[in-house]
Each structure stands twice: as structure tokens, then as C-alpha cells.
Structure 1
Amino acid sequence: MTTEQYDTHTTEVAPGIIQIRLPLPFALDHINVYLIEDSDGWILVDTGLKSEQSQSILKTIFDSLPMEIPLKAVIATHAHVDHIGAAGWICETWKVPLWVTKAEYEGIQNFLGMDPKNDSVLADELNDFYHRGGIPETEYELIIRSLLGFQRAFHPLPEKYRCLEEGTFSINGETWHILINDGHTVAHASLFNQDKNILISGDQVLARISSNVSVRFGEYSGNPIKSWIKGLQRLKDLPANTLVLPAHEKSMTNLHERADQLIEGYLENAHKIIHFCLTPSTAEEILRALFPRELSPFEHHLAYGETMAYINYQIAESNIKKLGSESDIPLYVAA
């Protein structure tokens, strides 16, 4: 198959691997999804979100596949909307299975079922999650409303799915390894072709930007930066010249160098908050020092989760400590 069969949204990035560039209505304005050719069909890795424009692009491409080599499966690297939002529509329309890790599938199903207007316990828990950071009520109400608005960008997922687990499987006679890491999400899957040294990395490693690593709702004391760094260090076990096909921006062949840059960048930010905690500060005060620009409600959510990730990392490293256990809004101070 050649890209001339399709349109400007497709690029053959390696033999048997087609990159499809789908639009996103965010500052990060696209996602790269990938078609991998197997002997009896094509496997799509990630899907874009549910939108008329993305679905039109995918329909044109899938309908052009030869009958003897059709679309056969969808793999979602993780459960963020740009990676799995259209998965239910694709699986339903082309009668193909969804492959995803168990924790990601269950997590997104829980999110899609959230309805704080009709669940007072959930409403209180959501409010408390942001209130503990010292975020004003009027602002965290906007954050929650913004987050729940993303539910509309998901097509309902299939009721059944194939559980992705660590290990190997074969595509077109070549060995692919499934690597699962916590950090950006709870069970993010990357796919490594050991025969051709190709890594479809999802959001685990990107060429220019860094992925958000956040403390999650329901895991207020979690330490996702520690596990995310562990996952990046693990990728350095792969060959240094591995062709990395990420979910955003351009491909790269400097995997080890880029992993080190990402680790250094997050540790640098984690170090900054020690300075911000020379006087006792709320998470929101630390956030505003770390991200001193105007933030949309969704950006505020990401910044809060990331700030809490730095705080929890430094608490675990004994570099800062939490004060005011008697208060519902803790303060943090350098140890």
C-alpha cells in the first residue's frame, strides 16, 4: 500500500507502517495514529477523538483498504480522549476488537460514568480534590465542568475488549513487545518492534514537548513522577538508534538522549518547588509560581495535577514536608 492511495493526512514512515495525522481542537493541534500491516489485515494504533473531521478522514482510509487486507483491530496506547475517543465508533463500524490495558479501559469507563449532578458523594469528592489544593471554589467548579465536557468527545466503548499485557506478539512475522508504564497514565502501552527497532511510543516519549504527569483524582498521595521516570529509564534498554514514532509532532532516532532530557526537565521542575516552599505555601500558590501565565480551566487542572506530582515526589524524597494536618488545605514547606 502506498500513501498515494489516500491523501495528505497519511505518510509511510516505515515499511508496513502508515502514519495518519488527525486534527485536534487544542493548542496541540494533531495526533499521529498508526496503521501496521499484518498478513491478514491492518492494526490501528490510537484513534483520535470523536469528531466529524477525524471520522471522515479515517472512513476514507479504511474504506480504501483492500478486501483481502481489511482493518482487523484497534490498539489504544492509553485512555486519553485523543487516543481512544473514536475507538468505539471504529470498532462498531468495522466490526473489529479493541485492545487496551485493563486499567486504562476501566479508568475511562469510570470517567465516562461520572455524573456529580446525580451523585452527591462523587460531587463532594471532586470538590475536595481541588479544594485541598487551595483552589478557589469558583475556579475549581470551572475545572470540573471543563473536564466533564470531555465526555462528549468519546464514542461509547465496546463492552468487551482484548486486554493488553506485558509480553510479545507477532505482526506480519515480526516480534513486537508491549511495554506498559505508569506515569502519564496508569497503564500506558508502547509497542516495540525488535526486528526493525521501531517504537510506537504514544505519549511516553515525545520529540519536543513533555507529557503531563499528574496526581490523579482518587490517588491524592500518589507519586507518578517516580514511576514515569522509571518508565523512561526502561526505554533506554532499547537500542539508542530506535526509530521512535510518537503520538504528537515528529519522529526521532535519539531515544536515549531524549529520555534523559525528559527526566532532567521534570527533576528540574521538582527542584524549583523547594525554593517556592521556603515559606509555607498551598499547592495553588506553588502552582502559580511554577506556571505564572493565564490558564484555562483545563490547563489549570493539568497544572494542579502536575504540581501535586512534584510536591509528592519531594515529600517522598524528604525535601519538603506537609504542614497543617488539622486543616483541610495543607501547606508545604522546605524540610
Structure 2
Amino acid sequence: MADGVITSEGEAETGGDGLRGLTYPLGAPPAPGEAIQAARGVLWLRLPLPMQLNHINVYAIEDGDGWAVVDTGIRTPESLAAWEAALAGPLGGRPVTRVICTHMHPDHIGLAGWLCQRFDAPLLMTQLEYVTGRMLVADNGPAPEAGAIFWRASGWTEAQIDGWRSSYGRFTKGVFHMPSTYERLTGGQVLSIGGEDWTIVIGNGHSPEHACLWRRSDNVFISGDQILPRISSNISVWPTEPLADPLDDWMTSLDRLGDLLPAGTFVLPGHGDPFTGVLPRIEALKRGHTVSLKRLERTLREPKRAVDVFASLFARPVGDGILGMATGEAIAHLNYLAGQGRVRRERDADGVDWWSLTQTETA
């Protein structure tokens, strides 16, 4: 499970520049080990990722004599080296007072345990994110047969399923041992960090209980992966909950954030550059998924497997490296339409699911 790198064709780059309602006031991003002041008392750091989405943003908030860190990067030698340089350089050798993780994907929690251990600092997460992260870190295999059934039903070949089996447990490799205790974050909770109040805002869909941080005094919003400027976060169904409807959760969250955040909010995202224009961006994200759903319905005039609908959803070819995320996102869109009674699923004798429009749907 990881952050999405696929942008749906209907949403690709929508709102990605000033002409479409977004501006990027900070200029070029910081190099690994360096930092840029993003807002009052907030430093923006960027760490490398060993994947197509090649970076993650983390933020350090002044907290008395030290720093409260938001998100941590993945467990790799390159990320550790960047942290060492940042701690000795722009963070001035001051300690980390607490580690706040927006959600449980490895690029966000991968070095949480390392930072907490090094500075004897507490970990702060929402309950579902912490528990799910601990569960996934502990799940080294063997690969469960339920997963093979899920991927086979999606249209994967036996060779692709064998590849999934052989790589099972990759989540664990990207995450340093997580702390055995944590401090729970809840929606509406107010954290005092360096004498400033930050309100916890919960989002859903990309992950189960994603925490964002909002400083109302100047409308600075650390969004994690709940709102990104140039790509839409991966919204996927996974074998552990095959009938989930995360896209409905995601769309509902976007509506809620659109009603909550002022137009002038300055967004500090988990990927991409800090930006203004949150309301047009939220509308663009919603519109992108709506367009994709309409295109998907046209595709389903004839029965299709989940792997057959990629062209309806994604602007680029899907290779084996992102096959799991692409399939999960395709099923999320299919489950969303099924929840509205717009499509149906039938499993054949080989265990493969075929999706089509319902009989009441007009072509």
C-alpha cells in the first residue's frame, strides 16, 4: 500500500498552475538535507523516494526549544542521510519534541520509529492509522490466499499473482520498527505547538483516518496526501476489505474540506509544492473523478474485468510496478458505481469478476 502516482486522465494536471487557480509562492523546493521557511515557524523539507513519485515533503514546526515533525519519509539510506544533514543543518541541532504522522503509508511513517527512538519523542497519530500501520508492518507473510483470490478476480494472470506472492511484505521493509505506544489524534482536537494552536482535521478515502493540521490564525493547512496540487491521491480497494467504497469516503471528505477551508488557505502538501487555491483544487479533484466515472460507465456497456478499464481512468500505461495501485483504484471506482446501483459484478467459473452496466442503465 503506497501513495498514488497515477493521475486519472480526466483530472490530469487540472488546477496544476496559476492559470487554473493555483499559485506556488515558495519557488524551487529544498534539496534533501536543506529547508525553506514555508510559513511562520514552519520549515519545509523534502526527502527522496525510490519510486516514480520521487519525493515526499515533511515539515518541522518550531516547538519551544525543538521541533515537532510532521511525517518522516521512508526507511532508506538516502532518507536517513537527508535527515542527518537537516538535523545538523537547518534544524540547528535542536531536538525533535514529537513526531506527528498524517497517515500510515510507508513514505509518511517509515522513519517515525527512528526519530522517536533517537529523541525519546512521542508518536502522534489517529487510532485507525496507527493500528493499521502496526498491522501491516507485522504482516510479513506468507501471502494469504484471500489476496490471490482478490487479484485473480480482478483479472490478473497467474504470473502476476506469483509476482505479488514473491514480493509480499514490502511494506515492512520501508518502515523502521514503530513505537509500541502513541498519542491519539482526533478530529477537532487542538494541539499547541510552540504556543500556536493547530486543529486536527480528519480526511478519508486515501487512508482510513488521515490527519491534517490547520493553523486557523493564518490559515496554514498541512494536508498530507488528502489534498495534493498536481496529482490525485491513490484511492484504492485492497484484499483486506474487497467490498470497501473508499471513493465515496474520498468525495465526502472533499465536500467537507471545501465547506471548511477558507479560500485563502495556504496548503502544505505531502507531495508537490505548497500552494494557494485550495477551493478550485478541491473542485478539480471532484470533477476529475466524476469525469472518470462517466468514462468508466461508457466502457462497461460490454462486460469488463477490472484490468480492462485502466484506459478509462489513467492517463498513462500501467506497468507491473504500479499494477496493484492501478487495480485497486479501478476497483474503487467500480465499487462506487456498484454502491449506487449503476453497475453489477458477476464472477465466472474461473473466479474472475466481470463488471457491466445494470439492466436499468441506459447505454
- Per the TM superposition, whether the score is higher than 0.5 is yes
Q: Is the 8 A contact 1:181 1:231 kept in 2?
A: yes
**Aligned with 2:130: secondary structure?**
helix
The answer on 1:124 being equivalent to 2:149 is no
Within-5 A mapping of 1:1-335:
9-63=34-88, 65=91, 70-117=95-142, 123-146=144-167, 148-166=169-187, 167-236=189-258, 237-287=260-310, 290-291=313-314, 294-324=317-347, 328-335=351-358
Amino acid at match of 1:203: D
**Aligned with 2:146: secondary structure?**
helix
What CA RMSD, in Å, does the superposition of the two structures yield over aligned residues?
Answer: 2.1
**1:9 deviation in Å?**
2.5
Q: Is the 8 A contact 2:295 2:312 kept in 1?
A: no
**1:276 deviation in Å?**
1.4
**1:326 deviation in Å?**
7.1
CA distance in 1, matches of 2:152, 2:47: 36
**Aligned with 2:212: secondary structure?**
strand
**Aligned with 1:267: secondary structure?**
helix
Stretches of structure 2 that go unaligned for 5 or more consecutive residues are: 1-30, 359-363
Matched residue count: 325
**Aligned with 1:132: secondary structure?**
helix
Q: Is the 8 A contact 1:9 1:22 kept in 2?
A: no
- Structure with the greater relative contact order (CA < 8 A, sep ≥ 6): 1 or 2? 2
**1:7 deviation in Å?**
7.7
1:329–1:157 CA distance, 2 compared to 1 (3 A): same
CA distance in 2, matches of 1:31, 1:274: 34
Stretches of structure 1 that go unaligned for 5 or more consecutive residues are: 1-5
CA distance in 1, matches of 2:331, 2:77: 36
**1:51 deviation in Å?**
1.4
CA distance in 1, matches of 2:277, 2:122: 33
**1:300 deviation in Å?**
0.4
1:168–1:281 CA distance, 2 compared to 1 (3 A): same
Amino acid at match of 2:154: G
Q: In terms of mean alpha carbon deviation, does 235-244 or 137-146 score higher?
A: 137-146
CA distance in 1, matches of 2:181, 2:104: 15
1:206–1:325 CA distance, 2 compared to 1 (3 A): same
CA distances 1:293-325 after superposition (whole Å, capped 9, x unpaired) = 543334100011000000011111221112347
CA distances 1:65-113 after superposition (whole Å, capped 9, x unpaired) = 467x531000110111111101111111121111111111111221122
Q: In terms of mean alpha carbon deviation, does 53-62 or 301-310 score higher?
A: 53-62
**1:144 deviation in Å?**
4.2
Q: Is the 8 A contact 2:310 2:318 kept in 1?
A: no
1:159–1:103 CA distance, 2 compared to 1 (3 A): same
**Aligned with 1:115: secondary structure?**
coil
**1:226 deviation in Å?**
0.8
CA distance in 2, matches of 1:110, 1:141: 23
**1:40 deviation in Å?**
4.1
**1:289 deviation in Å?**
5.3
TM-score by length of 1: 0.91
Amino acid at match of 2:82: I
**1:285 deviation in Å?**
1.9
Q: Is the 8 A contact 1:73 1:97 kept in 2?
A: yes
**Aligned with 2:164: secondary structure?**
helix
**Aligned with 2:328: secondary structure?**
helix
1:242–1:292 CA distance, 2 compared to 1 (3 A): closer
CA distance in 2, matches of 1:198, 1:324: 48
